[in-house]
Amino acid sequence: MSAGGVAIEGGAAPRAPGLSLDQRVLAAYETELLKLRSQLAVRLLVLVCAVGPFAFSALLKVQSGTPADALFGAYVHASGFAVSLVVMGFAGSWGFPLIAGLVAGDQFASEDRHNTWKTILTRSCSLGELFTGKLLASATVAVAMLTLTMLSSLAAGLILVGGHGLVDLSGNLESAGRSLALTIVSWALCVLPLLAYVSLAALFSVASRNGIVGVVGPIVIALATTLIDLIGKGVWVHLLLIGSAFGGMYGLFTTHPFLGPLVITSLVSLVWIAACVGAAWFILRRRDFLAGSAVRAPSWHAPLRVVAATTVIVAVLAVATNLGPVGITQHRLNAAIGGAFNNVSLLQQRLIGRIAPAGAKLDVQPFCNRRGAKSQGPGDWLCNVYVYLPQLNAVPFQRTNVEYDVSVRYDGCYKAQSPPTFIGGPTMTDRRGRSVVNPLFVVYGCFNTL
């Protein structure tokens, strides 16, 4: 058939001489890091993570308002740790999905867009090694972004606001050291759900071969998650959503820390990571690397299909959100509000110079219900807190009623705000004549929904 027959001297040579499997994965990892570092979007992201918290903190500094709807938001002028935790809260909703999309969502699709699969697959690394290297690199960059944002937000908060302790989610004033530790642990606990979003972005990237889908997909999912979190009484669907772990750490900020939601949502994140990575590998290893099918010009058709599919899934999940035991109950909210009100009342007394012994208890009876709806589930509640104050006259107790509008989240965290007529404005004057946050004006808290 063919001519010739010249023998090859030396025969089969070892593959990528001197490199073990680990080293080939490391080589793939390093090349992916190099590519990510060279991309404009990633460089801009680094800039935003480094400068954004400072800009946010500086903006808060020059205005009197606060992002009070966010947990700890009312304290951004009082504690630098609150600044960091508010940034973390925003990041959990939008920032981390965006980071995941930008670092992982285009990583596989860009090989199709640049038609470079054939370039890298004809070198010394296998598809599996490249896949592993890409995932590790995007995970590394995403975690680096998280770390950078944490450090930047802490630095911004401590420099521009100060290192005063936090008022925790049971209404107690924490020391600066404990506040710092809780803040750092909270950021660290965001790593798992962040990696879940990274895995999801990688799956979108592999499955769609479209960078737009990979980048926007996690944000669309985050939006859908936010919508689903607003409805439904059951706990299961909420716990199983990909972003649920971003709220798991708030149980650590209470007088009696509860770890159930944290453990479950962390495990859920691990399941999401395994499922997304497994599915991405399943799809990738079965595809042919053909020019015609590989090079798909970026288009909005695929993203629109993803949005349509997401809408259907959200509708199904919305129906399913009532499944499982009810997490937000009247009894739980009453107990949480009562305890928190007791603690912030004592804190207020201390701030104005009165003696309030540690562990002191007021006679507080909260009663929470929902207007026009069954008293359960996340949403808007109305809580009347009845305080019985002892008197030295014929009537042994004076009953005072404080009314709070309470907004309760799916994870049992809430913000309670009272009209100024009841408990004064958002700030008050302490015993030294300084303007400080009135701890009774906005009360934050969390309770275990399991």
Partner 1 sequence: MPGVEAVTASGLVKRFETTTAVDELDLVVAAGQVHGLLGANGAGKTTLLRLLFGLIAPDAGSIRLLGRPLGGPGSAALDHVAGFVEEPSFYPYLTGASNLALLAKLDGEVPAGLIDEVLERVGLTERAGSRVGSYSTGMRQRLGIAAALLRTPRLLLLDEPTSGLDPGGARAVAALVRELADQGVAVLLSSHQIGELEKVCDAYTVIRDGRVVWDGTAAQLTAQAPASAYALATSDDDRALVIAAGVPGVRAGRSPRGQLAMSVPEASLDALVLALGDARVAVRRLELLVSPLESMFFALSGDEKVDELEPYDLAERVLAGAGADG
Contacts with partner 1, residue ranges (CB under 8 A):
1-19, 23-24, 27-28, 30-31, 34-35, 38-40, 114-130, 288-291
Tell me how far, at minimum, the Cβ of 33 lies from partner 1, in Å.
10
Query: Which tokens go with 260?
Result: 């159930």
In 3D space, the residue among 147, 148, 133 whose CA is nearest the CA of residue 34 turns out to be 133
Q: How far apart are CA 77 and CA 29, in angstroms?
A: 42
Tell me how far, at minimum, the Cβ of 119 lies from partner 1, in Å.
5
The smaller minimum CB distance to partner 1, of residues 135 and 158, is found at 135
Q: How far apart are CA 420 and CA 438, in angstroms?
A: 10
The smaller minimum CB distance to partner 1, of residues 47 and 267, is found at 47
CB 101 within 8 A of CB 212: no
Cα 157–chain centre separation? 19
Tell me how far, at minimum, the Cβ of 190 lies from partner 1, in Å.
30
Tell me how far, at minimum, the Cβ of 111 lies from partner 1, in Å.
9
The smaller minimum CB distance to partner 1, of residues 1 and 312, is found at 1
The smaller minimum CB distance to partner 1, of residues 3 and 392, is found at 3
Query: Which tokens go with 100?
Result: 């995941």
Residue 57, burial from CB neighbour count under 10 angstroms (0-12, 13-18, 19+): buried
Show the CA angle centred on residue 159, arms to residues 153 and 428, nearest 5°.
95
The smaller minimum CB distance to partner 1, of residues 112 and 174, is found at 112
Tell me how far, at minimum, the Cβ of 275 lies from partner 1, in Å.
24
Q: How far apart are CA 422 and CA 404, in angstroms?
A: 9
DSSP letter string, 264-289: HHHHHHHHHHHHHHHHHHHHHHT---
Tell me how far, at minimum, the Cβ of 39 lies from partner 1, in Å.
7
The smaller minimum CB distance to partner 1, of residues 46 and 362, is found at 46
